[in-house]
Chain A
Amino acid sequence: MAKNKTEKNWMPRWFYQLASPRWCYDITGKLLPAFSVLALLLLLGGTVWALLFAPADYQQGNSFRIIYIHVPSAILAQSCYMMMALAGAIGLIWKMKVADMVAKACAPLGASLALLALATGAIWGKPTWGSWWVWDARLTSMLILLFLYLGVMALHSAIENDSTAAQSTAVLALVGLVNIPIIKYSVEWWNTLHQPATFKLTEKPAMPAEMWLPLLVMLVGFYCFFAVSLMLRLRHEILRRERRSSWVQALVESR
C-alpha cells in the first residue's frame, strides 16, 4: 500500500483530494465568498465603465456598448464547453465522481451563456445590419454550440442512473469537442461563400485601449461569475448525490 502511494506521487496531492466530494464541498465553501465579491466588483465596475466612460464607436455609435457583454459571454460559452468535455474525460478515465458533477454543472451554465451571446448578438445586429438575425459565421457557430449543449442536457436528463448519464454525456461532449473546430471551419467557409464581405461584428482593426480595457475587465468578471455559478451548481450536485452520507446528514441536522 505504502509503495503504491509513492509510485503514484507524480500526481499532485490536491488532485486526489479533489476526488472527495466532501473536501470539494468544503473548499468551494471557502472560495465562494472571495469569488462572489470579485465577480460583483468586476462586473459592476466593468458595466459602469462600459456604459458611461468608454467612447462610442465612430460607426456604430452607442450600440457598440453591447460588445462588453456579447464578447465575454461568447468566449465563456466556448471555454465552458471545453471545460465540460475535459471534466467528462477526467471522470471517464479516473472514475472521479466530482469531475462528473463538474461536467454536469457546466452544461446548463454554458447553454445559458451561449443563449446570452446569441441574444446580445441578435440585438446588436438590429441597429448594425438592420435585422434581428443574420446568418453570420460567429452567430451560426454559437447557435450550433447551443444545440450541442442542449443535446448534452437532453441526454443527461434521459438517463436515470447518475453514473451512466455522466459517462454517456462525457462521450458525447468529447465527440462534440472534436467536432467544434470542424464545425467552426465549415461554417466560416460556408459564410464566406454565401455572404462575401459582410460587416463583421467584432472585428475591429485596432481597438483603442479605452475601448478594450473595459472589455478585459468584463471578461475577467465573467470568468469570476462563471466560477461562482459553477461552484454553486457543483455544491448542489454534491449534496444531492451524497444526501445519504453521514456528513450531509450532519450538515442537515446542524442547520
Chain B
Amino acid sequence: MKFESMADFIGMGGHGLYVWLAYGIALAILLLNVVQPLRQTRQLLNQQARRVRREKGLS
C-alpha cells in the first residue's frame, strides 16, 4: 500500500484531479462500449418481437 490515509489516496499527492479524471473517463468509455451494444441488441429484439406479433395478428 503506497498511501497512508484515504485523503492521501484521493489527493494523489496533488495530482488527484488528473488521475481521477483519467480513470473516470476510462470507466465511462469502457462502460459505454458494453452498454451501447447491449441496448441496441435489446431494442432490435423488441422490434422484431413486435413485428412478429403484428404479422401474426394480421394473418
Contact = CB atoms under 8 A, between A and B. Distances in A.
Contact of A52 (B1, B14, B22, B41): B1
B34 A63 contact: no
Interface in B27-46: 29-30, 32-34, 37-38, 40-41, 44-45
Contacts of B1: 52-53
B52 A253 contact: yes
Interface in B1-58: 1-3, 9, 12-16, 18-19, 21-23, 25-26, 29-30, 32-34, 37-38, 40-41, 44-45, 48-49, 52
A185 B12 CA distance: 36
Contacts of B18: 63, 66, 123-124, 126-127
B2 A70 contact: no
B45 to A, nearest CB: 6
A120 B9 CA distance: 19
A252 B41 contact: no
Interface stretch (A9-17, A93-101, A151-159, A230-238): A230-238
Given A62-B12, A229-B37, A236-B37, A55 B21 contact: no
A77 to B, nearest CB: 11
Contact of A239 (B21, B30, B44): B44
B49 A252 contact: yes
Nearest to A60: B15
A236 B38 CA distance: 8
B34 A228 contact: yes
Contacts of A52: 1-3, 9
Interface residues of B, number: 30
A interface, size bucket: 35 or more
A255 interface: yes
A61 B13 contact: yes
Nearest to A52: B1
A229 B22 contact: no
B9 A229 contact: no
A240 interface: yes
A156 B48 CA distance: 24
Given A52-B2, A63-B12, A239-B44, A112 B49 contact: no
A119 interface: yes
A69 to B, nearest CB: 4
11 contacts: A51-B19, A52-B1, A56-B13, A62-B12, A63-B12, A73-B26, A112-B32, A119-B22, A228-B34, A233-B37, A235-B37
5 smallest beta-carbon distances between A and B, as pairs: A232-B37, A63-B15, A62-B12, A229-B33, A236-B41
